[in-house]
C-alpha cells in the first residue's frame, strides 16, 4: 500500500508512535510518506520506501495566526496526487483529522477517493479536544474519518463520554520495537551517573503540568532520605524552572541530573532502576512502556490507560493521582531489596512483550485493508 502519515514531528508519544509505525510498515513492503512541518525526530533514515514531505507555512504580517491546517491540506492534496497515496493515517485529531477531511473533499472534486484513518492519542481528546473552542470541529472530523482508532480502552471510553461519536472506535494499543531494547548496551555507562550503592530513579516527560513532575520530586526526596539515590530527569517543558528551584530548596540539586530533550532514551533507561510516572491523566503512557521494555519497573498513577500498561504488583505499582506517600512506599519496597528489584525488572520486561510491534502493526494493516475494501 502507499500510505500517507500525518503526525507531530516532536518527542511526544504520538509522533514517536507514528514514526515507528511508518518505519515498520516500510519494512513490511509498504511505501510510506510522512507529511508534517519537520522531519520527525525518530525518523533518521529515509529510503526508497520512506519519504518525508515538509509542510511550509509562509509568514504573512496580516495573519495573527499562521494557517497551518490550510497549508497541510493543500500539501496533502498535492502529495496524494503526485505519489498516488492510497490511504491517509493521521495521528492526533487536532488539526490533522480536520485538515485530512478538507483534503479528502478537494480530492473528491477531482474524482480521487482518499480514505482517512484517525488515531486518537490522548490530549487531543482529554485536554485540548474537549475544550468548547474545538469540540465541534473535533467531533465532526472524528465522525467523518473512515476509521478511528484509540491507543487504549480508557481513551476510547473518554472519547465516547466527551463527544457525540457515531463511528466505531478500534482500540489499537501503542507498541514498541523490542529488538531495539533486547540487544542491550554492552557499554551501559552506569558508573558515570551513580556509585554502585546508589539507586537510579528516572522520569521522562514534556514537563507539562499534566505530568505532575512536582510529585516526581516529592517521591524522590522521600526515597533519598532512606537510601542513596540519584534522579534522572529527561525532557523539557514549562515546569522545568520550578522543578529546578524546588530541588535547590530541598537541597537535593546534586542528586538530580537534568538531561533536557534527549534522543538517547534507551541509553538512560539502561542504567535506571525505577521509572516514575505520576501523571494527572495519561491515555497510555508510552514512556512507561519504554521503561518496562528496558527492564525498569514503573511507579505510576492509576489514571487513564496506565493500568492497561503497568500491571500492579508485577511490572511496578499504581497509586491514586497525587498519593506521594503510597508511591514512596511502593518505590522503597522495590528498591530496598536487591533480589526483589531484580524480580520486578524481569517482570517489567516480560510484561512489555504484550506490546511487541510485530503483534500490533498488523492490526493497523488490517484496518487499512478493511477501510480500502469498504470505500
Residues contributing to the site for ligand GMT (CB under 6 A): 12-15, 17, 92, 121-123, 126, 151, 174, 206, 208, 210, 281-286
| 206 vs 352, beta carbon nearer ligand GMT | 206
Residue 206 beta carbon to ligand GMT: minimum distance, rounded to whole angstroms? 5
Q: In this structure, are strands 31-36 and 50-54 parallel, antiparallel, or unpaired?
A: parallel
| 2 vs 242, beta carbon nearer ligand GMT | 242
Residue 158 beta carbon to ligand GMT: minimum distance, rounded to whole angstroms? 9
Residue 177 beta carbon to ligand GMT: minimum distance, rounded to whole angstroms? 15
| Distance, CA of 284 to chain centre | 8
In total, the chain counts a number of residues equal to 375
Residue 336 beta carbon to ligand GMT: minimum distance, rounded to whole angstroms? 29
How large is the angle between the packed helices 324-335 and 338-352, nearest 10 degrees?
Answer: 110
| 13 vs 297, beta carbon nearer ligand GMT | 13
| C-alpha pair distances (Å), 343 with each of 168, 219, 313, 335 | 40, 22, 11, 11
How would you list the strands of the sheet with 229-234, edge to edge? 256-260, 229-234, 199-204, 274-277, 298-301, 316-319
Indicate left, alpha or beta for 313 from its phi (over 0: left) and psi (-120 to 50: alpha): left
Residue 146 beta carbon to ligand GMT: minimum distance, rounded to whole angstroms? 20
| C-alpha pair distances (Å), 360 with each of 176, 309, 355 | 9, 14, 7
| 77 vs 316, beta carbon nearer ligand GMT | 316
Q: In this structure, are strands 147-150 and 116-120 parallel, antiparallel, or unpaired?
A: parallel
**Beta partners for 275?**
202, 298
Q: In this structure, are strands 298-301 and 50-54 parallel, antiparallel, or unpaired?
A: unpaired
Residue 10 beta carbon to ligand GMT: minimum distance, rounded to whole angstroms? 7
Q: Which residue is nearest to ligand GMT (CB)?
A: 122
Residue 213 beta carbon to ligand GMT: minimum distance, rounded to whole angstroms? 12
| 17 vs 76, beta carbon nearer ligand GMT | 17
Residue 333 beta carbon to ligand GMT: minimum distance, rounded to whole angstroms? 25
Three-state DSSP at 184 gives coil
| 152 vs 328, beta carbon nearer ligand GMT | 152
**Beta partners for 234?**
204, 260
Q: Which three cell numbers stand for residue 2?
A: 502507499
| 309 vs 324, beta carbon nearer ligand GMT | 309
| 122 vs 297, beta carbon nearer ligand GMT | 122
Amino acid at each position: 500500500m502507499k500510505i500517507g502519515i500525518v503526525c507531530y514531528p516532536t518527542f511526544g508519544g504520538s509522533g514517536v508512535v507514528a514514526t515507528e509505525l511508518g518505519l515498520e510498515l516500510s519494512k513490511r513492503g509498504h511505501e510510506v510518506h510522512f507529511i508534517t512541518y519537520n522531519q520527525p525526530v525518530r525518523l533518521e533514515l529515509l529510503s526508497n520506501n520512506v519519504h518525508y514531505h515538509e509542510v511550509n507555512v509562509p509568514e504573512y504580517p496580516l495573519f495573527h495566526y499562521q494557517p497551518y491546517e490550510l497549508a497541510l491540506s493543500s500539501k496533502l492534496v498535492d502529495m496524494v496526487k503526485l505519489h498516488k497515496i492510497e490511504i491517509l493515517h493521521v495521528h492526533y485529531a487536532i488539526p490533522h483529522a480536520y485538515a485530512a477531511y478538507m483534503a479528502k473533499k478537494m480530492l473528491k472534486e477531482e474524482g480521487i477517493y482518499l480514505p482517512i484513518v484517525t488515531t486518537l492519542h490522548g490530549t487531543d481528546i482529554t485536554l485540548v479536544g474537549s475544550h468548547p473552542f474545538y469540540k465541534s470541529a473535533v467531533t465532526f472530523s472524528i465522525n467523518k474519518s473512515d476509521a478511528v482508532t484509540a491507543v487504549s480502552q480508557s481513551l476510547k471510553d473518554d472519547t465516547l463520554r466527551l463527544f457525540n461519536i457515531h463511528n466505531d472506535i478500534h482500540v489499537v494499543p501503542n507498541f514498541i520495537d523490542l529488538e531495539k531494547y533486547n540487544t542491550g548496551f554492552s557499554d551501559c555507562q552506569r558508573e558515570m551517573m551513580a556509585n554502585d550503592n546508589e539507586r537510579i530513579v528516572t522520569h521522562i516527560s514534556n514537563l507539562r503540568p499534566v505530568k505532575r513532575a512536582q510529585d516526581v520530586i516529592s517521591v524522590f526526596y522521600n526515597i533519598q532520605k532512606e537510601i542513596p539515590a540519584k534522579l534522572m530527569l529527561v525532557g523539557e517543558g514549562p515546569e522545568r524552572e520550578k522543578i529546578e528551584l524546588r530541588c535547590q530548596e530541598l537541597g537535593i540539586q546534586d542528586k538530580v541530573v537534568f538531561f533536557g530533550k534527549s534522543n538517547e532514551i534507551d541509553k538512560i533507561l539502561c542504567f535506571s532502576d525505577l521509572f516514575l510516572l505520576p501523571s494527572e491523566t495519561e491515555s497510555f503512557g508510552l514512556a512507561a512502556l519504554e521503561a518496562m521494555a528496558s527492564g525498569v519497573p514503573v511507579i505510576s498513577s492509576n489514571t487513564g490507560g496506565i493500568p492497561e500498561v503497568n500491571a500492579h504488583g508485577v511490572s511496578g505499582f499504581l497509586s491514586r493521582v497525587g498519593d506521594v506517600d503510597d508511591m514512596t512506599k511502593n518505590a522503597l519496597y522495590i528498591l530496598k531489596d536487591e533480589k526483589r528489584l531484580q524480580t520486578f525488572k524481569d517482570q517489567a520486561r516480560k510484561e512489555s512483550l504484550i506490546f511487541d510491534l510485530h503483534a500490533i502493526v498488523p492490526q493497523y494493516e488490517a484496518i487499512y485493508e478493511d477501510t480500502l475494501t469498504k470505500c
